[in-house]
Amino acid sequence: MTRAVLALRAPSANRVYTAAAGPLVLAEARWVLGAHLGPGVVVRERTVGGMHALEVRARAEQTVDEDRLDTLLGLLSTTYGLFEIAGEGLLRPLEASSPLRHPEDLETILKYPGKTNEQFTALLVNLAASLSTRRSGLFDGTLSLLDPMCGRGTTLNRALRLGLSPIGADIDRKDVEAYRTFLTTWLRTHRYKHQISSTSLTVRGEQLGTRTLAELAPDKAAQRAGLAQQVTVLGCDTARLGEVLAARSVDAIVADLPYGVQHGAHGGGGVQRSPLEVLRRAAGTWRSLLRDGGGIALAVNRHTLDHDAAREALAAAGLTVLTRDGAFRHRVDQSIDRDVLLAVPSNHPRLEQLAALDALQEETPT
């Protein structure tokens, strides 16, 4: 019999869009497992004792790296617990190794209007990382991750918990300052060894904004063991990042694009700026920063950014969108009908294998 694993879904998963939580994590699992392990695993939804779960089996005749599979399942955005199906009606708890570090409140404690939900952020990070040819860097801290529109740092905090040293950028100085204040307080409260500095970001005599750099480790022993991490936050226009960061230096880009609606104003706010305009201005820069084998996960609002227009803007920058319209569609509120676009450089070495994963999404396992 082939080994089968159940990943239970947290009961609190995506309270906001409950009905979509199942299809979302199913799509996440199929993309992430397919991209990391190849098409050798079959994933389906099922309920066990009234609890929602994903069941994952290796296809007949396929060998799968079981440790890596378990670790990836443990990292899925809504996983609550893992069990091996040990026989008819028998579940054996699985203790998967996990790269996650630091207390969970690093991701959850900060609340503000416009924050990208933490579980959804974890999904975006998992997806973008899986597309990279350097995806194993997710497990040893070497994957380089950029959120070029990082707001108050939800992606950065997820990346820190994964042991990475991420870079973020945001044009809104209030957001950058709020992230610095939050991180400083969090590091002090948790008695971490840390240093935070901010300087002006100047390129060829022009001041583009600010650069904040934090170095952190839980304690001296972790510092000595080489477990110190860095997080860099650039307070500048995302379209100027090519002047600040090294070309072809990033493995994974994760961004929750501006939705083109006012946050915090219930009852629907006015349009602030066009997300398509932002994408057209920034996509070329993002491509230039990404390694050829890198990947991008973009969260978009379908009400204000048309899939085909986004696909064209990305194609013009040398990026191929892998996902169909609505692949990760879910309704957040009246004004946000959210989806995720996955894209890679058009010369990505694994373009064909990754593009084939879109078709797997339709699969109904027998």
Q: What is the binding site for ligand SAM (CB under 6 A)? A: 114-116, 149-152, 154-155, 169-172, 175, 237-238, 256, 258-259, 278
Dmax over Cα atoms in the chain, in whole Å? 70
Q: Which is nearer to ligand SAM, 56 or 208 (CB)?
A: 208
Residue entry with tokens 């994903």: 54
Min separation Cβ 150 and ligand SAM, Å? 6
Q: Which is nearer to ligand SAM, 152 or 307 (CB)?
A: 152
The dihedrals phi and psi of 207, each to the nearest 5 degrees, come to -85, 115
Min separation Cβ 253 and ligand SAM, Å? 13
Min separation Cβ 110 and ligand SAM, Å? 8
Q: Specify whether the CB–CB gap between 34 and 41 falls below 8 A.
A: yes
Min separation Cβ 190 and ligand SAM, Å? 21
Spatial CA neighbour of 186 closest among 151, 223, 161: 161
Min separation Cβ 296 and ligand SAM, Å? 14
H or E element that contains 132: none
Q: Which is nearer to ligand SAM, 43 or 124 (CB)?
A: 124
The dihedrals phi and psi of 241, each to the nearest 5 degrees, come to -65, -25
Q: Which residues are CB-contacts of 329 (< 8 A; sequence separation ≥ 6)? A: 20, 302, 337, 338, 339
**What does the alpha-carbon distance between residue 88 and residue 175 come to, in Å, rounded to a whole number?**
52
Residue nearest to ligand SAM (CB): 151
Min separation Cβ 234 and ligand SAM, Å? 9
Q: Which is nearer to ligand SAM, 41 or 297 (CB)?
A: 297
Min separation Cβ 303 and ligand SAM, Å? 14
Q: Which is nearer to ligand SAM, 71 or 212 (CB)?
A: 212
**What does the alpha-carbon distance between residue 292 and residue 295 come to, in Å, rounded to a whole number?**
9
H or E element that contains 90: strand 90-93
Q: Which is nearer to ligand SAM, 92 or 273 (CB)?
A: 273
Q: Which is nearer to ligand SAM, 52 or 161 (CB)?
A: 161
Transcribe 165-202 into DSSP letters: --EEE-S-HHHHHHHHHHHHHHHHHTT-EEEEEEEEEE
**Cα-based torsion angle of the residue sequence 34, 101, 124, 329 in order, rounded to the nearest 10 degrees:** 90
- Encoding tokens for residue 235? 């307070």
Transcribe 305-341 into DSSP letters: S-HHHHHHHHHHTTEEE-SPTTTT-EEEETTEEEEEE
Min separation Cβ 351 and ligand SAM, Å? 27
Min separation Cβ 111 and ligand SAM, Å? 10
**Cα-based torsion angle of the residue sequence 258, 134, 249, 279 in order, rounded to the nearest 10 degrees:** -20
Q: Which is nearer to ligand SAM, 115 or 303 (CB)?
A: 115
Q: Which is nearer to ligand SAM, 28 or 170 (CB)?
A: 170
